[in-house]
Amino acid sequence: MPAPKKNGLQTVWFQSPPVIISTATIVGGKEGQGPLGQTFDKVLEDNYYGEKSWEKAEQRMLEEAMQMAIERAGLQPQNVDFMLGGDLLNQIISASFTARNLGIPYLGLYGACATMYEGLALGAMLIDGGFADKVLVGVSSHFATAERQFRYPTEQGVQRPLYASWTVTGAAAAILAREGNGPVVTHATIGRAIDFGQGDPQNMGAVMAPAAADTIARHLADTQRSPDYYDLIVTGDLGTYGRELAETLLRQKGYEVGGRLYDCGVMIYSPEQDPHAGGSGCACSGVVTCGYLIKQLKAGCIKRFLGVATGALFSQCSFQQGETIPAIAHAVVVEGR
Amino acid sequence: MVEVKDSQPMEIRKREYQKLVQQVIPRPTVGRNVFWAFVVGGLISLLGQGLMNFFAGFGLPLTEAGAAASAVLVFLSAFLTGLGVYDEIAKFAGAGAIVPITGFANSMVAPAMEYRAEGLVLGVGARLFTVAGPVLVFGIVTAWAIGILYYLFRLGG
């Protein structure tokens, strides 16, 4: 017997769609000056955030974003059933240290830059499955912590290629609940790890575009919907060129998504800020979703969107050993109500 | 027209996709990069020559004037790295800022600043040469190789 809440090969649907009752976002200065700056709750003046290390700053951002989301929902940490969180640092220390401080039962996630959507999908499953009433989901990333872990020291003089992306400094959190007011999560499509043989860790857009195209096509096939069912289809951090690649791949699969396909990484910075291909990192899809997109739904500017966060599943060790980079994309449907 | 299809065997799909990627990603701005590398690299070298002449003017022998000029350039680069300016220059000037001795100084100071959070021994001490290390290793190995060739063939008598 097929699972009662599974649609097609990779999509699940929610019988009582979980509600996003509150969200919170904190971003760095560069993101605050970007086109979406007004949609974020707090902008840091200093990317050290008064801490001794970049890592401490990132962890504090995540903790504050999560606390803000809990407060806005009118809750205390002890009223939250589970916390789902992750980040880009080795052994997801930002999320785990935040879990230590908040004391909420915690499941650590790693989906690279797709972690926010992995969390939203799992959180909605926990609630609709009857295992939780309130679930906190949150992610963070920080330009400097990601640079030093994956690339070079921050002050190192290097010329980044034009297709490189810029890691977003920020943290996003959302509370999913069984009941309440706010947009609802109706479907989730869990991605497959897709590897098209790309190995350049600077060219994340090319690495992740096939995963995004695969998940979007799978979602549309599983739900038997056409792309124009959605006001927006928003990928996580493909960047300018990755977005174009995903659009081409989808066209070759028979889906025309042109005018509707947006990318959080392209939206978060303006070209004058010189981010090259665009933003990336867990916080990229996190803050654009919890900030801009949710506000658009609440204001009634859009009715529903398909969010598709993308992640590159590699470590510094794997690419130094010459391995190609698999990528993942998880999709979640959010509807205004 | 490059086509990437689910029906293709994976190897062909990867190859076709690589072609598609090459069509989409922007070409590096080689002309502009070379121009600015030449200008900025040239200016740094000019500054070095000026410093050398300056020290030589005080009566220092040429090799020692060169060492003094290098020391000033290294200091300037380290100082600008500390202020967070050198990476901005390098972003713009590329190899023009990376190849001269100032680039080498930057590649030592940047990790020193970055890893001080992990302490003096395991942070700064262990990781100071993360960027400069390979340059030194291959530079020294090349010097050995040239030295052996020189010994065998007595080049330049």
**DSSP secondary structure string for all residues of A132-173:** -SEEEEEEEE-HHHHHHHHS--TT------TT--EEPPEEEE
What is the nearest CA distance from A88 to chain B, expressed in angstroms? 18
The DSSP output letter for A113 is B
CA distance B39 to chain A (A): 16
End-to-end CA distance of chain B: 61
Q: Which amino acid is at A187?
A: H
Every domain range in chain A assigned CATH 3.40.47.40: 18-177, 184-335
For chain B, list residues with pLDDT below 70: 1, 155-157
> Least CB-CB distance to A162: which of B14, B26, B110?
B26
Q: Identify which of A95, A139, A109 has the alpha carbon closest to the alpha carbon of residue A264.
A: A139
Evaluate whether A127 touches A17 at the Cβ level (below 8 Å). Answer: no
DSSP element (H, E) containing A86: strand A82-87
Closest CA to B6 of A193, A327, A253: A253
Domain A184-335: give its CATH superfamily.
Stage V sporulation protein AD (3.40.47.40)
Chain B from 78 to 97: CB within 8 A of any A CB: 81-82, 84, 86-87, 89-91, 94, 97
Q: What CA–CA distance (Å, rounded) separates A150 from A321?
A: 14
Contacts of A241 in chain B (CB under 8 A): 24-26
Sole residue written with tokens 């901005």 = B88
**Phi, psi dihedral angles at A327 (to 5 degrees):** -130, 160
Domain contains B58: yes
State whether A156 and B131 contact (CB < 8 Å): yes
Is B109's CB within 8 Å of A55's CB?
Answer: no
Instruction: Count CB-CB contacts under 10 A for residue A108.
Output: 16
Question: How many CB pairs lie under 8 A apart between chains A and B?
Answer: 95
* Cα–Cα distance measured from residue B64 to residue B39, given in angstroms and rounded to the nearest whole number: 27
Range of the structural domain that residue B56 is part of: 33-129
Sign, CA torsion A267/A273/A276/A282: negative
CA distance A81 to A70: 12
Please give the pLDDT value at position A2.
Answer: 84
> Is B20 within 8 Å of chain A by CB?
yes
Question: CA nearest B80 in A: which residue?
Answer: A155
Distance from the A320 Cα atom to the nearest Cα atom in chain B, whole angstroms: 14
CB A150 within 8 A of CB A171: no
> Which residue on chain A is closest to B119 by alpha carbon?
A53
Task: Flag if A203 and B18 touch (Cβ within 8 Å).
Answer: no
| Domain-embedded: residue B70 | yes
pLDDT digits (tens, 9 = 90+) for B30-70: 999 999 999 999 999 999 999 999 999 999 999 999 999 99
Residues of A with CB under 8 A from a CB of B: 52-55, 148, 152-163, 196-198, 203, 206, 210, 241, 244-245, 248-249, 252-253
Nearest CB to A252; choose among B4, B26, B130: B4
Distance CA B1, CA B13 (A): 14
User: Strands A42-43, A279-280: parallel, antiparallel or unpaired by DSSP?
Assistant: unpaired
Q: What is the ipTM of this complex?
A: 0.91
Tokens of A234: 């928003």
Encoded amino acid at B11, one letter:
E
CATH class name, domain A18-177? alpha beta
- Please report, rounded to a whole number, the percentage of residues in chain A having pLDDT higher than 70: 100
Residue among B24, B82, B106 minimizing CB distance to A241: B24
Distance between alpha carbon A149 and the CA centroid of its chain, in Å? 19
Q: How far apart are CA A333 and CA B11, in angstroms?
A: 33
A contacts of B18 (beta carbons < 8 Å): 197-198
Decide if A155 contacts B81 (C-beta within 8 A): yes
Q: Is B104 on the interface with A (CB under 8 A)?
A: no
Cβ contact A59:A85 at 8 Å: no
For chain A, say whether B32 makes contact (Cβ under 8 Å).
no
B135 C-beta neighbours (distance < 10 Å), count: 13
Residue whose C-alpha is closest to residue A122's, from A81, A62, A91, A78: A81
Nearest-CA distance from B63 to chain A in Å? 28
Query: Cβ separation of A156 and B110 shorter than 8 Å?
Result: yes
DSSP line for A4-45: TTEETTTEEE-SSPPEEEEEEEEE-HHHHTSTTGGGSSEE-S
Q: Is B98 on the interface with A (CB under 8 A)?
A: yes
Residues A138/A174, Cβ–Cβ less than 8 Å: yes
Contact (Cβ atoms closer than 8 angstroms) between residue A143 and residue A171:
no
The answer to whether position B10 is within a domain reads no
**Predicted local confidence at residue A45, as pLDDT:** 93
Average pLDDT score over residue span A241-249: 97
Taking a C-beta distance cutoff of 8 angstroms, is the pair A139, B97 a contact?
no
> For tokens 């990528």, what's the residue?
A327
Contact yes or no for B130 and A54 at CB 8 A: no
A139: left (phi over 0), alpha (psi -120 to 50) or beta: beta
Looking at residues A262-270, what average pLDDT do you find?
97
- Single-letter amino acid code for the residue at A64: E
Report pLDDT for A174: 98
What are the pLDDT digits (tens) for A277-325?
A: 999 999 999 999 999 999 999 999 999 999 999 999 999 999 899 999 9
Q: Which residues contact A122 (CB under 8 A, 6 or more apart)?
A: A84, A107, A109
In this predicted structure, the answer to whether residue A130 has a pLDDT above a threshold of 80 is yes
Rounded Cα gap, residues A69 and B69, in angstroms: 57
* Any domain includes B150: no
Q: What is the pLDDT of residue B2?
A: 83
CB contact under 8 A, B110 and A153: yes
Q: CB of B8 within 8 Å of any CB in chain A?
A: no
Task: Encode pLDDT of A137-151 as tens digits.
Answer: 999 999 999 998 988
Q: What is the DSSP letter of A192?
A: P
pLDDT of A337 reads 86
- Taking CA–CA distances from A239, the nearest residue in chain B reads B25
Q: Which residue of A has its CA nearest to B82?
A: A155
Is B105 part of any domain? yes
Is B62 within the bounds of a domain?
A: yes
Nearest to A196 among B14, B84, B91 (CB): B14
The H or E element containing residue A311 is strand A304-312
Query: Smallest Cα–Cα separation from A78: which of A134, A22, A126, A140?
Result: A134
DSSP classification of residue A291: I
The tokens 């979703």 sit on which residue?
Answer: A289
User: So what's the pLDDT on residue B3?
Assistant: 84
- Rounded Cα distance between A228 and A251, Å, is 14
Nearest to B104 by CA among B124, B84, B127, B81: B81
Using a CB-CB cut-off of 8 Å, the residues of chain B touching A210 are: 4, 17
Query: How many domains would you assign to chain B?
Result: 1
Cβ contact, residue pair A157, B90, below 8 Å? yes
How far does Cα A106 stand from its chain's mean position?
19
Nearest CA in chain B to A202: B25
